[in-house]
Amino acid sequence: MPQRLFEPTDAAGVAAVLQSAAADRLAVTVRGGGTKSPTQGPAEVVLSTTRLTAAVDHVAGDLVATAPAGATLDAVNTVLQRERQWLPLDPPRSSRATIGGIIATNDSGPRRHRHGTPRDLIIGIEIALVNGRTAKAGGRVVKNVAGYDLSKLLCGSLGSLAVITSATFKLSPLAPHSQTLVATVTSIRQLGDLALAVAAVPVAPTAIELQSSPHRLLIRFETTEQSARRQTELVSAICVKHGATCAVVSGRAEADAWRAHEARIFGADGTILKVAVLPTDVADVLDRISTMAAERSVEHDVIGRAALGIILLRISGDLSAQSAIVTELRLDATARRGTAVLLSAPAALQHDVGRWGPATDAAPLMRAVKQQFDPQNTLNPGVGVWES
């Protein structure tokens, strides 16, 4: 069937579209900036949130702000920066990624090491439901914990429970200075071990990122210039003891280094796999990735939150080789009580291996929640882990 596009401008308009689609038993795809839309089945209705762009409600004295779902992260932070504050999230493609999409995917970037994910920062939410109603939860008070935490439930829900129309977050002050220590080692296995050593040092980096190849850690400090310099010196000494060579970048060179870091995974074509394991297992997993890629002659790039156990792998080349690598890494991650999820992949590969991998014990609970919010499976059918 031909798709129908709806672009409502407020929560009531979103709710009306959902109610009409549910009454006609039409599937709805929810789309924001399109930076991380998962592969899914065909839908008769496309609901775009990009016109949900009401003004940002910024209460600088309380370090909180309410942002519309259709606004991009960069646009929101441009407003917040007038008061030297920001929403400390740095997912890929932040110039296009919308607030609603970032929440729906619980997306984050290198600064997750210090600031966490949307689930850690969100304190209130407004949503539109398939029954035609709107609902709010939480509020502007950072310590508001009364009742069920609907805000956090919607983080990572992939638009399959309700449509997010706005959200309230706790903010952070902008740091007066930033600099990044780049530590280069000779083998990929050293990266995981070095990250653990750095994480054990009594310093407060905003990011500890690995990349390969070349095999590097990028360790970022965002604070006063004096504090950043002292912390960099301390961590540099640890890195040198572990056989690394070190350099420090700031200003434009630092910004270029972080843009290039993101582009390794998100700036090229290919399959993107997110592997989550214990930080102590990172070195073993990196070593396994390097071996498998060499054995199957596939092009690959690796980055990740080194001290948090999160690895992002981009592979390209023969699809059968990619399938084998994804399957083996899933088996390895599952054995370590971790996960390996496809963030992006050709449709044929995703059909072959699935997006999520083996179902977990949480799947029945997820199905029950989905049934309560969306009993007819109107919203984003085909994307949930319970459907794998």
Return the structure tokens found at 2: 């031909």
Predicted pLDDT of residue 128: 95
Kindly list the distances between the CA atom of residue 220 and the CA atoms of 52, 126, 179, 192, 290, in Å, as whole numbers in the listed order: 34, 34, 6, 17, 26
Residue 280: strand, helix, or coil: helix
pTM over 0.85, yes/no: yes
Q: Is 357 left (phi over 0), alpha (psi -120 to 50) or beta?
A: left
The rounded mean pLDDT for the chain is 91
Predicted pLDDT of residue 358: 77
Helix (H) / strand (E) element for 208: namely strand 207-212
Return the structure tokens found at 93: 């493609």
Helix axes 225-241 and 188-199, enclosed angle (nearest 10): 130
Give tens-digit pLDDT for 15-50. 999 999 999 999 999 998 887 765 555 678 899 999
- What is the pLDDT confidence band of residue 177, given thresholds at 50, 70 and 90? very high
DSSP string over 166-190: EEEEE-EEPPSEEEEEEEE-SSHHH
Residue 124: strand, helix, or coil: strand
Angstrom distance (rounded) from CA 29 to CA 319: 27
Predicted pLDDT of residue 38: 54
Is the pLDDT score of 387 beyond 70?
Answer: no
List the domains of the chain with CATH numbers: 1-174 (3.30.465.10), 177-263 (3.30.70.2190), 268-353 (3.30.70.260)
Percent of the chain with pLDDT over 90: 74
Give tens-digit pLDDT for 221-279. 999 999 999 999 999 999 999 999 999 999 999 999 999 999 999 988 889 999 999 99
Is the pLDDT score of 384 beyond 60?
Answer: yes
Most confidently modeled of 150-154, 175-179, 213-217? 175-179
Predicted pLDDT of residue 140: 65
Angstrom distance (rounded) from CA 132 to CA 19: 4
Give tens-digit pLDDT for 66-125. 999 999 999 999 999 999 999 999 999 999 999 999 999 999 999 999 999 999 999 999
C-alpha 173, offset from chain centre: 22
